[in-house]
Amino acid sequence: MQTVSTVVSSSTTSFKGVVDDSAGDLALKEGSNVVVIIKSTDVMIANNIIDNSERKRTMKKFLISLLFAAVNLTAGEINIAVAANVSYAIDELKTEFAKSNPDTNVQVTLGSSGKLTAQIKNGAPYGLFMAANMKYPQALYADKIAVTEPVVYAQGGLAYLSIKTQDFTQGIKLLTSDTISKIAVANPKTAPYGKAAVEAMKKAGIYDTVKPKFVYAESISQTVAYTVMAADIGLIAKSSLYSDKMAQYKEGVNWAPVDPTLYTPIKQGIVLLKNSENSSEYRAFYDFILSAKAKKILNTYGYIVE
């Protein structure tokens, strides 16, 4: 199971919403105890199994409403969905935000933009979405799930990464080398950085040649892990290379930027969602991400900011 909302608590109640992407299972927890479990095959409520499909749909809606209620019970806590490429910068952003908003607890769920969008459409109780492109926020706005029009908060870039020394003077043609047998790439169907990587290879005319070498990851952060552990090279978010954990990898030796003319600029959008309505905390965080202080932090992680 994958957590779609982190723990939301009040003085008397602590709830946690969980979803299984593959099966559609949902659960509501009070502390460590499961109160309600909604499964794709049946419904279990306090150990009683109900097989009626209509009842299942009703209870699933009921569970989502309880999750919303749990969030609303918690003053000073916000639940945000953040694209995986921002995982390297988000802690520093939260720290800076806390300086002027010490009473607001920011709970973050990371993932690929496509999967986070699917969770939002299915009722996950996020109030703000920081995506890895503009497409997904625009879709949510068109569906009236987002209550603000998408705005670009940063522009990302692609980079090659290898734990081995590579000759990056070859540019993207390096991927065709016989010394490269596995290339880590984020799933282009759900991860904007994966889509950009595929676009770059197609534009360079090497896609069909190198496609058999692909090792697909579900998010750009997972692509970094695959690159380091299982592949000869990976196409990753440039922002990940500015993390302290990546300091051992040197530009020109282990990594290099991908020619930005090979792919469409990766403009990353932010929106407020329906669950943020009437919440000053969500608005404060939204305004902060678009502020000069946040942009300065994002710039240190390799993002282009206006």
What is the percent of the chain with per-residue pLDDT over 90, rounded to a whole number?
A: 72
Cβ-contact 15, 66 below 8 angstroms: yes
Q: Which of 7-21, 112-126, 237-251 has the lowest mean pLDDT?
A: 7-21
Tell me the pLDDT band of 71, cut-offs 50, 70 and 90. very low
Burial of 62 (0-12, 13-18, 19+ CB in 10 A): middle
Q: Over 80: is that where the pLDDT of 15 sits?
A: no
Tell me the pLDDT tens digit for each residue of 41-62: 333 333 333 345 555 565 655 5
Q: Are strands 128-130 and 33-38 parallel, antiparallel or unpaired?
A: unpaired
Q: What is the DSSP secondary-structure string of the chain? A: -EEEEEEEE-SS-EEEEEEETTTTEEEEEETTEEEEEE-SS-EEETTEEE--HHHHHHHHHHHHHHHHHHHHH-TTEEEEEEEGGGHHHHHHHHHHHHHH-TT-EEEEEEE-HHHHHHHHHTT---SEEE-SSSHHHHHHHHTT-BSS--EEEEEE-EEEE-SS---GGGGGGGGGSTT---EEEE-TTT-HHHHHHHHHHHHTT-HHHHGGGEEEESSHHHHHHHHHHT-SEEEEEGGGGGSGGGTTSPBTTTEEE--GGGS--EEEEEEEBGGGTT-HHHHHHHHHHTSHHHHHHHHHTT-B--
Mean pLDDT over residues 229-246, rounded?
Answer: 94
| Whole-number Å distance between alpha carbons of 126 and 124 | 6
For position 64, what pLDDT does the model report? Answer: 57
Tell me the pLDDT tens digit for each residue of 255-280: 999 999 999 999 999 999 999 998 99
Note the pTM of the prediction, 2 decimals. 0.72
Q: Over 60: is that where the pLDDT of 183 sits?
A: yes
Tell me the pLDDT band of 76, cut-offs 50, 70 and 90. confident
For position 244, what pLDDT does the model report? Answer: 87
Phi, psi of 94 (to 5 degrees): -65, -40
Catalogue all structural domains in the chain, each as residue range(s) with its CATH number.
1-74 (no CATH), 156-262 (3.40.190.10)
For position 136, what pLDDT does the model report? Answer: 97
Tell me the pLDDT tens digit for each residue of 157-176: 999 999 999 999 999 999 99
Which of the two residues, 5 and 62, has the higher pLDDT score? 62
Averaged confidence pLDDT in the chain: 83
Using alpha carbons, select from 267, 8, 287, 16 the residue that is nearest to residue 128: 287
For position 48, what pLDDT does the model report? Answer: 39
| Whole-number Å distance between alpha carbons of 90 and 104 | 15
